[in-house]
Amino acid sequence: MSGGYTFRVPAFSIPFAGSYLSSSLQLNQFQLAVRRLINDHGRDVLLVAPTGGGKTLTLLLNTEHGETGLRGFVALYPNNTLLRNQLCTVEDIIVEHMGGRLEYSSGLCGGEHCSEAPAPRRCECLHLSDDACVEPLTIYNVDVNSCGDAWACYEHVGLLALSGRYIVSTDGKSKREILYGLVRKAMEYTRRGGLYLIVFATPDTYLLVSTGAYRDFEGVGRTVHNMLVALARGFRKEELEDVLRETGALTRGEADEAVAVFQRLGFPLFVDEFHLYDPYELDALAALLKIYKDFVELPVVFSSATPASDTLTELSDTLGEWGVELRPEKVEAEVMNGLGGFAVRGETLFEVIPVKTTKGGLAAFYEACDEIPGIVLDDLLDELKLLGDGRALVIAERLWMVPVIVRGLRDAGIEVDCIASITPAGECRAGARVIVGSEATTQGVNLGRVVLGVTAGTSSEDVIQRIGRVGRRGVNSKVYLVAPERALEKAPPSGVMSYYELVSWVSKVYPDYPKRRKSVAALIPERYREVRRKLIYSVAVASHARVSGSSALFKKVSLTSEDAARILGGVISDAQSLARLLLFRRSGFTIRYRVEGGVVGGAGAEGETSIGLISRNFAVNGLEDGVLVISLEKARHRLKIYRRGVSLEPFKGKLVDLRTLLTLVKGTLSVGDVQLGPEHIQDGSFALVLDSSPDLTEYLSYTGEGAAVMDDKFAVVFV
């Protein structure tokens, strides 16, 4: 490990504003600015601040918008990992700075998955795995004497996890019944001294709730199908009410409750880490924001660690097509050298390690990431043994690296804490000095006093996020950063950089999310994206029209007869699966798996995940009762479709249900030596059939997000 670059970023902080949220929590400069914009002026906000700068505190700053005895925020997160971690961050603020004492917990976890931490916390969230249970509703009593004047009216703070992962059907009750029961329970506290309610939501679930359509996706699928067929047959939009009434989705009483819940959750909207959204997700976000602006019309705060100007421009352009003007007031955190304000980071010494790569483009960055295990185990063992009272964080780009690094460190006598969806059993210890995490599970996590970091990445946004996990709260630190040699030669770092200079340099070295041409989302034709945006909005507004009784809203349906015919002609699936088009994220193709070798006790010993995650990480050893048997050994399988004589030509450019596709071409999907037939494919797994190319084949081999079709000129991409 020689011949690299060294530079440093001085310690920096954000100036305090002289205003307090509580007796122990002083607002910084941008937090006060955001509070004034949303409360005094009702303005949308673009908030740009370093990771660890306190953006999440925004969720406690709405004191004007709501009804008597009730204020709050709705926060949208692109995945459950980030949602859960930010919920825990807010829990820490409530307990540590507002005197929060747990008063109510929904009790749906039953203590089985949640550790019973000492009061006042219900759950210690830091080390929960992705499939762990999180209480969907907790309510805390706060010390109003320690809170600022703006909080004098609220004796309680509620945290509601609005996600299908955490709203679980029990005792024969539907998810809708569970959710509405939780909201009714929370509303009791508006009469017991006032309630400040923060809703942590995934976009899919919030869209269903905000439009009164919260029910299982089977019902939504019927709604989509009936609407499309009616429009394609030439029905007028005003006639859709009679068509949709045939779905029998809700009783009148349920509809009234749906409207009441939506009105109660009419809070300002916080869109976190929106720069991480790909084009497919941005389309869904645009439709959701259109609904929000139609029916709520309260401030929206866009939060990002980077300026994300390209992403915001794309979102603004899409909303502009609907006549929605998006011009948020930009609030960019002022950073100053030294720790005289709110301490964000201590001084950081960077050692940049160049890697000679054999490939170019995105493949070179994946190749550089593959060097992380060797760097850690061959060059950094001595440093990892001398951390003192600090911690080290190793962030692996690939999940297969986690067990490799963990086992290597344990062999060297170093205990390891693991934060990943799949980890080896019996080899990780919560709270150990050295943390090994996968690329998807380290966002927003408070990991304590991290003084050493080792990471790489395939996008500038990811690298900025990972660097931000090290040296927080003014702690001096060191970061080993790995990158392709050729990328570093084009943009060598200077000896000293400010934080924003660091962000600019990282953006020059690593690819930008919006500029990644080799992206599954970018492969989806614009004609599909356009009609999908219209479909999401139209289904949402029609659902709202049904539950509110406002027939005039059907005129807002933006789908035309031509759009409906295009969808029906371009999508080959059953009616139920059409609901997949409404999902915020590409669901891809998921499959159940089991880790071989008696790993009971390890995170993710069995479960369901994307076929791409398995194929690009682990060895596939067999198939038992429809469950893939894997081992935590490094492997990379190129997914292939084998067919028997039937070409995919008729399906070119179409979205096809994967099970249906394999049935029609008499084919199987190969994962290593395992062949998956139509019977092994879950319902609603869509595939887009495209012309094959060397670039597409290479991309799919690295991501596992699709499959090459053998002896044919096509490839499929999982949508």
Query: How far is the C-alpha of 686 from the C-alpha of 718, rounded, in Å?
Result: 6
The count of domains in the chain is 3
Q: Tell me, yes or no, whether 391 and 503 share the same domain.
A: yes
Residue 457 has pLDDT above 80, yes or no: yes
110-124, 252-266, 524-538, 581-595: the lowest-pLDDT one: 110-124
Residue pLDDT, tens place only, 481-523: 999 999 999 999 989 999 989 999 999 999 876 555 556 777 7
Residue listed under structure tokens 């007869």: 561
Mean pLDDT check: name the lowest of 356-370, 598-612, 682-696: 598-612
Say if CB 586 and CB 521 are below 8 A apart.
yes
Between CA 311 and CA 420 the distance in angstroms is: 28
For residues 500 and 594, membership in a common domain is answered with no
Residues 489, 358, single domain; the answer is yes
> Residues 480, 595: one domain?
no
In a domain, 153, yes or no: yes
Give the closest residue to 35 by CA, choosing from 5, 65, 68, 63: 63
Average pLDDT over residues 123-149: 71
| Rounded percentage of the chain residues whose pLDDT exceeds 90 | 35
Domain check: are 71 and 206 in the same one? yes
Q: CA Rg, the chain, in Å? A: 25
Q: How far apart are CA 44 and CA 327, in angstroms?
A: 7
Do 485 and 596 belong together in one domain?
A: no
Cα–Cα distance measured from residue 434 to residue 377, given in angstroms and rounded to the nearest whole number? 13
**Helix/strand/coil percent split, the chain, to 5:** 35, 25, 40
For residue 233, what are its two tokens? 């047959």
Question: Is 489 found in the same domain as 353?
Answer: yes
Instruction: Supply angle C-alpha 636, 648, 224, rounded to 5.
Output: 95
Handedness of CA 12, 16, 21, 24 (dihedral sign): positive
H/E segment holding residue 403 = helix 401-411
* Residue of 655, 651, 631 whose CA lies nearest to 713: 651
Dihedral sign (CA 708, 709, 712, 713)? negative
| For residues 182-208, average pLDDT | 89
Q: How confident is the model at residue 28 (pLDDT cuts 50, 70, 90)?
A: very high
Ranked by mean pLDDT, which of 82-91, 122-131, 602-611 comes out on top? 82-91
pLDDT of residue 518: 53
Residue 279 pLDDT exceeds 90: no
Mind listing the pLDDT tens digit for each residue in 46-75? 999 998 899 999 999 998 888 888 999 999
Asked, for residue 561, whether it belongs to a domain, the answer is no
Residues in a beta bridge with 196: 71, 157
Residue 113's pLDDT band (boundaries 50, 70, 90)? very low
**Of the residues 212, 247, 275, the one at which a domain ends:** 212
Answer for the pair 86, 56: CB distance below 8 angstroms, yes or no: yes
- Residue-range definition of the domain harbouring residue 158: 66-212
Q: Which pLDDT does position 120 carry in this prediction?
A: 41
Residue 38 lies in a domain: no
Residue whose C-alpha is closest to residue 93's, from 117, 126, 59, 62: 59
* Separation in Å, CA 503 to CA 74, 478, 483, 506: 29, 17, 15, 5
Residue 300 has pLDDT above 80, yes or no: yes
The pLDDT value given to residue 401 = 92
Provide the pLDDT for residue 613.
86
Q: Average model confidence (pLDDT) for the chain?
A: 85
391 Cβ contact list (under 8 Å, min separation 6): 433, 434, 435, 447, 448, 449, 450, 451, 452
Q: Are strands 450-455 and 391-396 parallel, antiparallel or unpaired?
A: parallel
Looking at the structure, tell me whether residues 497 and 606 fall in a common domain.
no
Q: Is the pLDDT of residue 603 over 80?
A: no
CA 347/CA 9 separation, integer angstroms: 6
Q: Would you give the distance in Å from CA 41 to the centre of its chain? A: 30
**Which residue would you say has higher pLDDT here, 345 or 117?**
345
Q: Please indicate, yes or no, if residue 526 is contained in any of the structural domains.
A: no
Question: Which pLDDT score is estimated for 442?
Answer: 54
> Could you count the other beta carbons within 10 Å of the beta carbon of residue 600?
10
Tell which residue, 588, 570, 383, has the closest CA to residue 394. Answer: 383
Tell me whether residue 127 is in a domain: yes
In this structure, are residues 454 and 416 in contact, taking their beta carbons and an 8 Å threshold?
Answer: no
Residue 656 lies in a domain: yes
Return the ∠ at Cα 516 (arms to 512 and 519), rounded to 5°. Answer: 135
Residue 388 has pLDDT above 70, yes or no: yes
Distances (CA, A) of 422 to 171, 595, 626: 30, 9, 20
Q: Please, where are the H alpha helices in 240-399? A: 240-245, 252-264, 279-295, 309-321, 361-369, 372-379, 381-384
Asked if residue 353 has pLDDT above 60, the reply is yes
Report the 3 state secondary structure along 518-547: CCHHHHCCHHHHHHHHHHHHHHHHHHHHHH
* Phi/psi of residue 404, nearest 5 degrees: -65, -50
* Shared domain check, 353 and 480: yes
Same domain for 205 and 70: yes
- Clarify whether residues 367 and 502 are in a common domain: yes
- Checking 108-114 for CB contacts under 8 A at 24+ apart, the result is 108/133, 108/135, 108/136, 108/166, 108/168, 108/170, 108/178, 109/133, 109/134, 109/135
332 forms beta bridges with: 48
**Length of the chain, in residues:** 719
Q: Is residue 599 pLDDT above 70, yes or no?
A: no
Q: Which of 212, 229, 256 is the last residue of a domain?
A: 212
Residue 4 has a pLDDT of 87
CATH code of the domain covering residue 344: 3.40.50.300
Instruction: Return the pLDDT at 441.
Output: 54
Residue 118 lies in a domain: yes
In this structure, is residue 599 part of a structural domain?
Answer: yes
Residues 356 and 490 in one domain: yes
Task: Quickly state the pLDDT bin for 213 (edges 50, 70, 90).
Answer: low
**Among 212, 242, 259, residue at a domain's last position:** 212
In 112-263, which ranges are E strands? Answer: 137-141, 156-162, 195-201
